[in-house]
Structure 1
Amino acid sequence: MFASDTLTKPEPTNEYRLPTNVKPSHYDLTIQTDLDNSVFKGLVKIKLDVKEPTSTIVLNSSKLKLDKAYVRSDTLNEKLAPSDCSVNDKDKRVTFTFPAIFQSGTQLELEIAFNGTFDGSNVGYYRASYEMDGEKRYYTLTQFEPTNARCAFPCWDEPALKATFDVTLISKTDMVNISNSAVVLEKAFSPNDQDYLGLKEAFPTLNDKWKITKFHRTPKMSTYIVAFASGPFEYIESKVKLPISGMEVPLRVYATADIIHQAQFALDVKAQVLPLYEQLFDVPYPLPKLDTLVAADLDAGAMENWGLITGRTSELLLDPMKGDTIAKKSVIETQAHEVAHMWFGNMTTMEWWDYLYLNEGNAYVYTLFPEYKGNADFIVLQFEQALALDAKPSSHPIEVSCPNAESIGQIFDSLSYSKAASVLRMLSAYVGEDKFLKGVSLYLKDHMYGNTVTGDLWKGIGQATGLDIPRLMDNWVTKTGFPVVTITETSNSIKMRQDRFLETGIAEGKENETIWNIPLSILTVGSSGETTIDRDAILDTREKEFPLDTSKPFKINAGTNGVYRVLYTDERLSKIAAEIAKSDCRFSLEDKMGLINDAMALSQAALMKLSTALTLIDAMRHEEECKHLSSDTLLPSLSEIASVWRDHTEIKNLLNEFRRSLFSPIVKKLGYTYSTEDSADTNQLRTSAIGVCAVAEDTTIVNELRSRFEHYMKSGDDSKIPADLQRIIYATAVKHGGRDEFHAVKAISDKPPTPTAKISAMLALGYTQDDSLLRETLNIMLNEARDQDVIYFFLGLAVHHHSNALLIDTFKEKYDQIYARFAESFVMYRLVEFTFKNLSTDENLRETVAFFKNKDVSRYSMALDQTLDGIQARIAYRKHSSLDILVWLREWKQKNL
């Protein structure tokens, strides 16, 4: 029996969930958008099924002015007005009380007229701006996840309360209207048209300057993925024939005229992944089209609205002549992730936000572009981010209670996304990818257009594998943290012990009670050099012994698929380092990445000496596969060490020497010229090596980068600034230059040739060493930058010790302004994290705790706790490893003189 056979889905609580006396089945929604006056007007007719006798109807509404409301029943044709209407602004609900009791089984139609304003926020139905031909212009779009559909129309704004939707948009005739479904009818308004008589009554300003766009009815879906937009859009289009349904589906990318030429790559990626996913999941894509809208203003990076994906310019656009590797990867990741959501989240939706990971984790697992070594990229972009956050005492389970809006907004983090994806990737590696995908397909088919909890996914995979998946996996999603596996050896066996890993060491007492079922994937090398991986071995107790010939090379967690750290003895780690140095090393790229990442994390936790980790890194300087090791693993590991000791002059200078010794030879070998004949690996390695050498003050490389920017300043010719090097060239020019360089980069930020150039410029403005220019950067950040761009200024300013101090002072001084601006968005908790996370002294910690003591932190309490944990970990790191790293670096320099 599978665990989900006996699961009961949780009943809504009265305090935070809507009553279940009535449930919606269909919405007929009409929205009139008046951009000239920054307002919108709407009419919604909602079909309801009465589940319990009631005279009250409670639904969600926020920021809307409600007008007339009526209800009709299937037994009463006349309209019945409510006897009372009360609005609860705190809970964002409206309650209608009627002078009649509606009996169970009755079908109702609730009709509500409403209007709203475009208030400058980026949630709900909102207005975005862009510039073209020196003129500021506008369009509208939606961002409803997690709980903002209620800001656009009154609705039952909970994921389990699914319904179908008929959407009608009314706009000026020169606007383009798009929504989840395809257009069924579009024509200019005519007062003599019988179809529009009802609209004239609800929207009295209609005349021949307006047009009406009606869309096909949607499948049954949740409110948070409803979407519509209206603006002067243009589009590019292609078609794909899907392998299972056989349908030919039109694919479009919409954008404004000034940027539509940069959207082709996003369209091409979507055309590649949509048929691949249909085949992979063995479930037909259910809609007749799939659009993407590129948005100038969007707090989320991208949003998976069914049939109408939205995404930032920086996530979806690519200059066809200057596309860099990072930008290409970003577009691929964004489009692939959002298209996967058409199945995970849209077709099959989590029952409540506690189970967000069922949407987000599943949408990250699938690697479709082998030329970018997606498995290795996953380790860097998802796996390590997840473990870094989950190693904090204030971490939370993947499956986490989200009773209210404040808690829902905070769980869109690396645990719901990256740890969930990592855990599912681990399960896939353990049961086999084919069986895992079969189980996922069964899960989707069993719950098509429905809602799910964890047990439903385990049931599908259990049916495909014949394994007890709940027993194997439940602790991975319901418990906080992850284990470290400590290895001790005899001549013919290894003994393993598991404990909860924290960034400050092994957890103690009640914090160390969880026993995980750990797939060990034991890699052994035979006498003839052949490798064997035991994928069946499981550590399911606190300690267990496994027979093994320890005279031969071995490694635990082959492929770095398991969500845990491995602590070897110093002697074994020395042998592993020697093995890696061999030309015929049997460890994979992913194995080597895992070894480095484990060593760095274990040294921070004082379970291994930092000098041992640095010795391992030093042993890899001639590693043949250093392309990924250098650009993805060594670089962030060494950057984190540099950040912890950024105010310690001798350590900083010696560490810069060490970094230059690793990366300068790569720059000399690869140079600064990018070629279409180079692989993605080579391009990324070149970029990373140049970047780290510039940061490490390699005079030759710094001067080269400065000269390239100087050429641009004198001539306006940017041909010496490859797209891949924009970020480091801009930053180097600002850091080592003066007012002229600063304002040249600011000019790029104001009128960027590409979205990635804008991001590079915004980041670079925080690198100036001039206090007056730093204050100018802070002013731009607070008073000129778009909401979605503020985060890049924070990131740039937080890098250096002095600018970070000014950022903290500004954050404290302008806190009320910042909070009022970002409290309801995804941005606020990131701003708290980025501002304070690089602090590393006891005084820093005391001052930070004191500042937030009397603040309402309910919207970012998780991020604040995690940030404070991080500061404490950095303090401990400095205390136990400062002498160790200093001695090692001194000895390393002496040996290499």
Structure 2
Amino acid sequence: MGKVFQFSQTVVVVGIVLGAASVASIIGLAVVYSQELAKNAEPTVEATTTPASTTTPTPSSELWDQYRLPDTLKPYEYNITLWPHLTKNADGLYSFTGHSTVDFECVKETDLILIHSNKLNLTKSSGHHATLTGLGGAVAPTIKTTWLQETTEYLVIQLNSKLEPGKSYQLYTSFTGELADDLGGFYRSEYYEGTELKVIATTQMQPTDARKAFPCFDEPALKAIFYMTLIHDRKTVALFNGMEIATVNTTMEEVEVSVTTFEPTPIMSTYLLAFVVCEFDFIRTPAAAEVLIRIWARPQAIAEGQGDYALNKTGPILDFFERYYNATYPLKKSDQIALPDFSAGAMENWGLITYRETALLYDPKMSSNDDKEWVATVIAHELAHMWFGNLVTMKWWNDLWLNEGFATYVSFLGADKAEPDWKVRDLFVLTVHGVFGVDALASSHPLSYSEKEINTPAQISELFDSITYSKGASVLRMLSEFLTEAVFSKGLSTYLNEFKYSNTVYTDLWKHLQAAVEQTPLVQLPYTIEEIMNRWILQMGFPVVTIDTSTGTISQKHFLTDPESVVDRPSIYNYEWFVPITWTKNGVQQDPKWLTTKTTDYAPMKTTEWVLANLNVTGFYRVNYDLPNWERLLTQLNTNPRVIPVINRAQIVDDAFNLARAKIVDTVLALKTTEYLSKETEYLPWQATVRSLDYYFLMFDRTEVYGVMQKYLKKQVTPLFEHFKNITADWTSIPTGHSDQYNQVIAISLACKVGVEGCSDLTLAWFKEWMKDPKNYFIHPNLKQTVYCNGIAAGGVDEWDFAWEIFKNSSNAVEADKLLYALSCTKVPWLLNRYLQYSLDPNMVRKQDATFSIIYIAGNVIGQPLAWDFIRANWKFIFNDYGGGGLSFSRLITGTTERFSTEFELNQLLSFKAEHAETGFGSATIALDQSIEKTKANIKWVAENKKKVNQWLSSAAGQP
């Protein structure tokens, strides 16, 4: 699923520097993503882990009480007919009707058929929910009884005699279901065209919701071919994974309809199915193109050219991946559709990729350069899945990390090919920094679980987190770097060709990469890839590597943000890693070194020159040094910072602040890394700084320390503010460089936050002019979110109501997203409370956006207690009505509790967990435990550092 945990760069920047919740990317896609968050075999050496969720299945000897299907049946072909009704029925509901057959082979003798079915009303024939017939001469047993097992989501069919191994059978079912607005399975999306309500029938199957559309064997390894027929209103168009064959107009049940049939799919998993009925328009590649590419969206969006950028970039990205994988794109077409309501960032359905509108549509008048990057990166992420995930699929969800981590990593490569001037690969370091914070918790988890530990839909949904996406991407990038990209892609190619249309476990990939290494003498490894990489995926966390330049000693230790936290997850590797160390001495790159033990002596690192390790942060580890080397690095930063690569300037800041939080270095040392920033104009170091200082804002923006923080940062950011004022001719233009455009946003946002003269007047003037003439006054898209937020923060009811009306009436999803965030910036408590109430009314805020609006409000220092009280008061409703298994649900807990740093707040959090144990927390279960852990660490950190931080900032700001 596309980067469900990534937020846009602009949201991240503005969120951090304006005190919003720290919702930095996983993709970013979430994302998604990002917003992705919309989504990623048994190990050779068994890892000892605990299940992803505290909710485990009740032991039972009955197969229908087990969450995994037995290995007795293997489907190979489905034939499905569905009719979505886009008007309400007599009960006031939207519904769909349908029937389907599944042809399957009996692998082992059995008198029991289990097939997934969830929230479907199955029609009974002769007293049973299904009809069974034999194929190819096989005689089907008669059905003894059938029933729906709701807990495990099965249609259970008991037979009077046994199915024969090697024989094939066909199971027929007919059914009805609700076309609900729950964003899962076969669901309903809505939008207005003028004053006319338009209804779309669309899908989101991953991970376990194909069973909500039709009865199926809903596990990724049970691949089959799918034939589809869609019955739909004549004014609509029907889409499916396969190319449409024919559309015939007819009359059914006295209704004039169209019947569209499609080419069968390749052999594929149920979670990759997609079908849509809508009134959309499209643009396409020329008829002569080898692969038909179509971009589908609301007619207005297509007419305004919002799909043009996606159409122009999809072809080059597809071409890049064909070369990268050395494998031809396996389908005739690539449909991509932008949906008004979508839970993730995007979904990689084979041949019909579904997106949030903001992840596919680009409007130069409304979209920022960040929005443009988001579109390019999400498209690359989803297209990467066409091979890695779709053509070759994980055997079970325990290896989701390989699927999603890989797509997240190579999405940066694909976007880099689409837009080479952006230097997107350099921005990957922000993904690494973001996931370090999660993986440094004692409540983190390994990338890969053993298969037996992931069973329930809730456990599966919990895996769609930043560890899966961002850490998965980071360790695969590290692997590609020490193998070289040529060797890495060679191993991928042989892997994909051997296992196409089938399923694998991660060790299959290790074997192919190892074979590629053995064919390349220049790549020398201390151990096999499996031995190296198992330490990174079968145990949680990562090391801090300490280099002592006075002795030449290198050592490693499991890095924990709270060193006193208890790690109760055992590891057969004792939290040691095989670490690839790249390094430079006084700016001259040295031979790389592998650290394969707890500690080792390495003579070349005994030196009085400055040493810098983990060049360009290609390794997934932090670096600490002896104090004299830290001082040498600080001296270099303060004298000539550009001698140190820009990515490593960002690394020094990020490592130092996090090492300080872990009590490995002094907090003052971390603060000193920001002294040079008055000389810095590059984006990555500033972004690393505002991310690091975001924690200080969260801990201190309700205390007296906040004042001196503002004064110090005003001194540091003023030169950056003036720099951008000068190069933009007094804010009348926009910088040309991609990263410079990001940094301009930081310069304005942080300057306004800390009171740089002229900043608030500048943004408020822009906002007021926009209020006077919203249709014609132009604010550059890069600056809109900052201007909107500052204008609403400085204003009152009139400004908020004006922005709300623009938000409600906007037909542009990108513009609406910016306003969704900016509305949370008001300092008026009752407006924030009203906004919270709006967030749970789908007529006011779309369901896909509800959790984000609450998180944004919690990011506001005034809104945080309001949001927390609101969640506690409405938890049962939010959980049940907004889907506890939703992929953005975990961030709801994380975002509303980030400021917690007192015993009172910790007790509130513990009480919340106890009070709602019966309702449960679904995909937020891990996030809740992590929030408790973070709060305990925050309490200790504030007690130990508040006075020290206040004193240093006062001195550095020149305050007596």
Interval of TM-score (by shorter of Structure 1 and Structure 2): over 0.9
Q: In structure 2, which of residues 358, 366, 370 is the aligned counterpart of residue 314 of structure 1?
A: 358
Judge conservation of contact 1:666–1:689 (CA < 8 Å) in 2: yes
Judge conservation of contact 1:70–1:80 (CA < 8 Å) in 2: no
1:589 positional shift? 1.6
Q: Aligned partners of 2:363, 2:44: CA distance in 1, in Å?
A: 53
Q: Aligned partners of 1:508, 1:310: CA distance in 2, in Å?
A: 42
Do structure 1's residue 884 and structure 2's residue 948 form an aligned pair?
yes
What per-residue deviation string (whole Å, max 9, x for no partner) do you get for residues 583-624 of structure 1? 485432222221111111111112112221121121243136
Q: In structure 2, which of residues 904, 907, 911 is the aligned counterpart of residue 843 of structure 1?
A: 904
Residues 152 and 776 of structure 1: CA distance in aligned 2, closer, same or farther (over 3 Å): same
Do structure 1's residue 252 and structure 2's residue 294 form an aligned pair?
yes
1:532 positional shift? 2.2
- TM-score, normalised to structure 1, is 0.92
Unpaired stretches in structure 2, ≥5 consecutive residues: 1-40, 49-56, 89-93, 519-524
What per-residue deviation string (whole Å, max 9, x for no partner) do you get for residues 429-467 of structure 1? 111111111112222112111111110111111111125
Judge conservation of contact 2:210–2:270 (CA < 8 Å) in 1: yes
Q: In structure 1, which of residues 564, 573, 576 is the aligned counterpart of residue 621 of structure 2?
A: 564
The answer for the alignment partner of 2:808 in structure 1 is 750
Q: Aligned partners of 2:669, 2:802: CA distance in 1, in Å?
A: 44
1:214-613 counterparts in 2 under 5 A? Answer: 214-238=261-285, 248-260=290-302, 261=304, 262-366=306-410, 367-368=413-414, 369=416, 370-380=420-430, 382-400=431-449, 401-466=453-518, 468-490=528-550, 493-505=551-563, 513-525=574-586, 531-535=588-592, 537-548=593-604, 549-583=606-640, 585-613=642-670
What residue identity is the alignment partner of 1:716? P
Unpaired stretches in structure 1, ≥5 consecutive residues: 191-203, 242-246
The answer for the alignment partner of 2:8 in structure 1 is none
Judge conservation of contact 1:501–1:507 (CA < 8 Å) in 2: no
Q: Aligned partners of 1:674, 1:173: CA distance in 2, in Å?
A: 51
1:567 positional shift? 1.2
Judge conservation of contact 2:141–2:163 (CA < 8 Å) in 1: no
Residues 8 and 841 of structure 1: CA distance in aligned 2, closer, same or farther (over 3 Å): closer
1:284 positional shift? 1.1
Q: Aligned partners of 2:380, 2:399: CA distance in 1, in Å?
A: 21
1:716-865 counterparts in 2 under 5 A? Answer: 716-717=774-775, 719-752=777-810, 754-783=812-841, 784-822=844-882, 823-856=884-917, 857-859=920-922, 860-865=924-929
What per-residue deviation string (whole Å, max 9, x for no partner) do you get for residues 351-402 of structure 1? 111000111011022223232222321111x211211100111000001342
The answer for the alignment partner of 1:34 in structure 2 is 85
Residues 49 and 220 of structure 1: CA distance in aligned 2, closer, same or farther (over 3 Å): same
Residues 89 and 799 of structure 1: CA distance in aligned 2, closer, same or farther (over 3 Å): same
Residues 33 and 107 of structure 1: CA distance in aligned 2, closer, same or farther (over 3 Å): same
SS at 1:853 equivalent: helix
What residue identity is the alignment partner of 1:214? T
SS at 2:559 equivalent: strand
Residues 5 and 660 of structure 1: CA distance in aligned 2, closer, same or farther (over 3 Å): closer
SS at 1:189 equivalent: strand
Greater relative contact order structure (CA < 8 Å, 6+ sep)? 2
What residue identity is the alignment partner of 2:895? F
What per-residue deviation string (whole Å, max 9, x for no partner) do you get for residues 395-415 of structure 1? 000013422111111110011
SS at 1:36 equivalent: coil
Q: CA RMSD in A?
A: 2.4
Q: Aligned partners of 1:654, 1:316: CA distance in 2, in Å?
A: 43
The answer for the alignment partner of 2:756 in structure 1 is 698
Q: Aligned partners of 2:104, 2:332: CA distance in 1, in Å?
A: 27
Judge conservation of contact 2:549–2:625 (CA < 8 Å) in 1: no
Judge conservation of contact 2:677–2:716 (CA < 8 Å) in 1: no
Number of equivalences: 863
Q: Aligned partners of 1:584, 1:61: CA distance in 2, in Å?
A: 61
- TM-score, normalised to structure 2, is 0.87
Judge conservation of contact 2:483–2:517 (CA < 8 Å) in 1: yes
User: 293-302 or 98-107, which moves further after superposition?
Assistant: 98-107
What residue identity is the alignment partner of 1:23? K
Q: Aligned partners of 2:638, 2:142: CA distance in 1, in Å?
A: 80
Judge conservation of contact 2:83–2:97 (CA < 8 Å) in 1: yes
User: 65-74 or 422-431, which moves further after superposition?
Assistant: 65-74
Judge conservation of contact 1:182–1:216 (CA < 8 Å) in 2: yes
1:5 positional shift? 11
Judge conservation of contact 2:142–2:161 (CA < 8 Å) in 1: no
SS at 1:322 equivalent: coil
Judge conservation of contact 2:698–2:898 (CA < 8 Å) in 1: no
What residue identity is the alignment partner of 2:957? K
Residues 405 and 554 of structure 1: CA distance in aligned 2, closer, same or farther (over 3 Å): same
Residues 9 and 228 of structure 1: CA distance in aligned 2, closer, same or farther (over 3 Å): farther
What per-residue deviation string (whole Å, max 9, x for no partner) do you get for residues 86-113 of structure 1? 1111110111123332211111111111
The answer for the alignment partner of 1:52 in structure 2 is 108
User: 158-167 or 504-513, which moves further after superposition?
Assistant: 504-513
Residues 279 and 8 of structure 1: CA distance in aligned 2, closer, same or farther (over 3 Å): farther
The answer for the alignment partner of 2:260 in structure 1 is 213
What per-residue deviation string (whole Å, max 9, x for no partner) do you get for residues 730-762 of structure 1? 111111111100101111211225322212212
Judge conservation of contact 1:440–1:461 (CA < 8 Å) in 2: yes
Q: Aligned partners of 1:752, 1:667: CA distance in 2, in Å?
A: 31
What per-residue deviation string (whole Å, max 9, x for no partner) do you get for residues 461-503 of structure 1? 111112510111101000011111122233xx52122111111
Judge conservation of contact 2:325–2:493 (CA < 8 Å) in 1: yes
SS at 2:186 equivalent: strand
Residues 61 and 674 of structure 1: CA distance in aligned 2, closer, same or farther (over 3 Å): farther
Judge conservation of contact 1:233–1:254 (CA < 8 Å) in 2: yes
1:644 positional shift? 1.6
Judge conservation of contact 2:99–2:173 (CA < 8 Å) in 1: yes
Residues 509 and 111 of structure 1: CA distance in aligned 2, closer, same or farther (over 3 Å): closer
Residues 497 and 509 of structure 1: CA distance in aligned 2, closer, same or farther (over 3 Å): farther
The answer for the alignment partner of 2:29 in structure 1 is none
Q: Aligned partners of 1:78, 1:487: CA distance in 2, in Å?
A: 72
The answer for the alignment partner of 1:199 in structure 2 is none
What per-residue deviation string (whole Å, max 9, x for no partner) do you get for residues 794-828 of structure 1? 23211233310011111111112111122232232
Q: Aligned partners of 1:699, 1:206: CA distance in 2, in Å?
A: 71
Do structure 1's residue 154 and structure 2's residue 215 form an aligned pair?
yes
- The sequence identity of aligned pairs, in percent, is 28
1:782 positional shift? 1.9
Q: In structure 2, which of residues 177, 181, 188 is the aligned counterpart of residue 116 of structure 1?
A: 177
